[in-house]
Structure 1
Amino acid sequence: MENEWKHNADAQNDRRRISRRITLIIVSVILAILLTAAGVGYVFFKNALAPVDESSTKSVKVEIPLGAGTSTIANILKEKGLIANETIFRYYVRYKNESAFQAGTYALSKAMTPDEIIGELKTGTVMKAADVKMTIPEGVTMTRQIAIISKATGFKAEDIEKTLTDEEYIQSLVDRYEMLTSEIQKKGVLYPLEGYLYPATYEFDKGKSVTEIVESMLDEMEKVYSENQSEIESSGMTFHEVLSLGAMVEREAATPNDRREIAGVFKNRLDTGMKLQSDPTVWYGTGRNTALTTLKDLENESRYNTYKYEGIPIGPIATVSKDSIIAVLNPNKTKNVYFFARPPSEKNPNGQILYEETYEAHQQNVVKYKPEWVEYEENKNL
């Protein structure tokens, strides 16, 4: 009897020990999870409240509208890439009991902490309006770009052109910009930087030199190049060739929706060994500002003439938008090989592109609608 009682007591003690061990293990696991979660949370919040890019030296223009609340401001800052997480920023502002943000246009930086951004928005130290504002449209030639820069800055057009064609300066740019290669220096290229000055609206203070203005435009195109570098490399084309095709797409497209279809047409022509036969390349080589191409124009010896020479032209013929670059890299898979552009009209203010798979159908469009261009040119010159 005594032995049985002792046996039961030992069993109970064993169960207690096991129970204590299990409880200790469970508590240890829970503590470990809590500590890990706390550590991860700390790192997450620390990163969310740190500068997005401590090494950034560029300012970012931010417009805070009148009456904007913390949520709106947080979303604006996130869209501009100035904060890592809009939700954390919003709760951080609430935790610090910050308010009285001022509406206005600010020059902020990705190197700023959320506290520094909050301080700027509270002081209302808004960005000073730029002295110079100029817009470079999509699809305009270098001649037009030079005229726009000249008018905006007061620099003489001939001085701007001299800078843009200076061999030593161009070589220095090739050495500095990854997107620029010796392709822009080939014999026959009219303007080395044609197509590389990104079309956009630029604002800057007086005192900027021509080279500073040009390089700010190159910087914007370099961003587009970097963003799409892998697709460019897999396309089998150089960036110079992508821009050359992109400029043709830019000049030919009547609407944004036409870009990828026209790019698809050009791809079909290249794949079958057909000449690209784009009228804007002819006009660029002749320097004529017209929509009517003559037989004499088609025979000009310019290396841009895609009626005379096969393949992609020697260089871009105009400014190129990001959309046209993406269209060239992602053309429509189409059976169309031909297209004809109708001029702007009341029904189609931007014109209309008619696509065809066969030469016969295309020629019918040419015969039917080419007189519209004659009338359009005549009215334009009135």
Structure 2
Amino acid sequence: MTRKNITRLSIFFDLILLIIFTVIFYFNTTVASEKNIFIPKGSIASIITHLSNNGYDVNRFDRFFLRFIGRPQSGFIDIGNNYLSKIDFLYALTKSKAALRDVTLIPGETMYFFNLLLSENFDLKVEDLQKAFEKYASYQDGVIFADTYKLPMGASADFLMQYLVERSMERHRQLAIKVLGIYDQKQWFRYVSIASIIQKEAANIEEMPIVSAVIYNRIKKGMPLQMDGSLNYGKYSHTKVSAQRIRQDMSEFNTYKNKGIPKNPVGSVSIDAIKAAINPARVDYLFFVKNKNGTHSFSRTYTEHQKNIK
């Protein structure tokens, strides 16, 4: 082998070593990151662009590497550390599991207390959550279905509310079509408003159609509903209704002063309450009062109602 060829071979190996050391150095550079990262749906190229636009030290070269090791899943993922080497960061993008937390909206609860729960679990401001809810929801309450939701850690108030409202509104639409054969939002949320009062008043699922019948019977006779549950709206969800409160409350939810159904639901509802609102029992009761068993005694006349009270 000539000296010239030896020189060329030496240069070639030097270049190979240089490339190897450069790659090793590159993949060992530190990437600063949030522990929970949002990965949008789309191509690897669009994911890299999204990360780059949000302050992550990634570039076109990284997308080629990702093609070999795997595709990141969309949504929020938990990569575990704030500082990782470039190669560990890219690997974590493809292997990390979703960062989710369960949160439950119980039937009858109001958005006021659900926002407090979300604020506590996701380290968000109540004011931001309420503002986001008002941005996406058409009604003050009752929009989000009573259910348990798996929500991503690290998400913004706007993201969480958009997700909760859009998912719930689709469930409202599907349920309306299933039960009524058509979805008319105004008509449907009148049922939801009735259901929200039923949810507050009924002692159990069996009572729901009967309470529903009382509501419809009183409306038919032009009587105010006079139901305490309607006054358990917003921050008053767990507050006992007093005579003073009935006199002073000037909201639409005061069914002692206002006839008919409030435009906005009082709180969250279950499917059972909605079904009861749509299909009331065939009874002619006008009154009910809680009895010693924790359920309600129903009556047709005020005289009978007075006896039940005693």
Instruction: Give the TM-score of the pair, scaled to structure 2.
Output: 0.62
TM-superposed deviation, 1:129: 6.6
Amino acid at match of 1:202: Y
For 2:110, the equivalent position in structure 1 comes to 141
Of 106, 116, 123, which residue of structure 2 is paired with 1:154?
123
- Residue-by-residue CA offset, 1:167-221 (whole Å, 9 max, x unaligned): xx24xx5xxxxxx5xxx3xxxxxxx3x1001111111332322233223322134
Please give the alpha-carbon distance, in whole angstroms, between the structure 2 residues aligned to 1:158 and 1:235: 31
Of 280, 302, 305, which residue of structure 2 is paired with 1:331?
280
Amino acid at match of 1:158: E
- List runs of 5+ in structure 2 lacking aligned partners: 1-40, 42-72, 74-94
TM-superposed deviation, 1:309: 0.7
For 2:145, the equivalent position in structure 1 comes to 198
Of 349, 358, 361, which residue of structure 1 is paired with 2:301?
358
Q: Between the two structures, name the one with larger relative contact order (CA 8 Å, sep ≥ 6).
A: 2
TM-superposed deviation, 1:333: 0.8
Amino acid at match of 1:242: Y
Please give the alpha-carbon distance, in whole angstroms, between the structure 2 residues aligned to 1:353 and 1:322: 21
Q: Pairwise mapping of residues 285-364 of structure 1 onto structure 2 (< 5 A)?
A: 287=236, 289-342=238-291, 348=293, 351-364=294-307
TM-superposed deviation, 1:357: 0.8
Matched, 1:267 2:216: yes
Identity over the aligned pairs, expressed in percent?
27
Q: Pairwise mapping of residues 1-382 of structure 1 onto structure 2 (< 5 A)?
A: 128=97, 130-165=99-134, 169-170=135-136, 180=138, 184=139, 192=140, 194-218=141-165, 219-229=167-177, 231=180, 238-284=187-233, 287=236, 289-342=238-291, 348=293, 351-366=294-309, 368=310
Please give the alpha-carbon distance, in whole angstroms, between the structure 2 residues aligned to 1:197 and 1:156: 19
Structure 1 residues 157, 236: closer, same or farther in 2, change over 3 A?
A: closer
TM-superposed deviation, 1:153: 0.9
Structure 1 residues 286, 156: closer, same or farther in 2, change over 3 A?
A: closer
Please give the alpha-carbon distance, in whole angstroms, between the structure 2 residues aligned to 1:134 and 1:213: 12
- Residue-by-residue CA offset, 1:43-98 (whole Å, 9 max, x unaligned): xxxxxxxxxxxxxx9xxxxxxxxxxxxxxxxxxxxxxxxxxxxxxxxxxxxxxxxx
Structure 1 residues 363, 292: closer, same or farther in 2, change over 3 A?
A: farther
Runs of 4+ in 1 over 4 A off after TM superposition: 126-130, 232-237
Q: Is the 8 A contact 2:143 2:168 kept in 1?
A: no
Amino acid at match of 1:265: V
TM-superposed deviation, 1:265: 1.1
- Residue-by-residue CA offset, 1:145-186 (whole Å, 9 max, x unaligned): 111111221112222123223xxx24xx5xxxxxx5xxx3xx
Structure 1 residues 222, 250: closer, same or farther in 2, change over 3 A?
A: same
**Which secondary structure state, in structure 2, belongs to the residue aligned with residue 238 of structure 1?**
helix
Please give the alpha-carbon distance, in whole angstroms, between the structure 1 residues aligned to 2:270 and 2:186: 18
How many residue pairs match? The answer is 216
**Which secondary structure state, in structure 2, belongs to the residue aligned with residue 364 of structure 1?**
helix
TM-superposed deviation, 1:232: 7.9
Structure 1 residues 352, 341: closer, same or farther in 2, change over 3 A?
A: same
Please give the alpha-carbon distance, in whole angstroms, between the structure 2 residues aligned to 1:271 and 1:234: 25
Please give the alpha-carbon distance, in whole angstroms, between the structure 1 residues aligned to 2:240 and 2:119: 26
Q: Is the 8 A contact 1:286 1:297 kept in 2?
A: no
Instruction: Give the TM-score of the pair, scaled to structure 1.
Output: 0.51
Amino acid at match of 2:121: A
Please give the alpha-carbon distance, in whole angstroms, between the structure 1 residues aligned to 2:234 and 2:114: 17
TM-superposed deviation, 1:291: 2.8
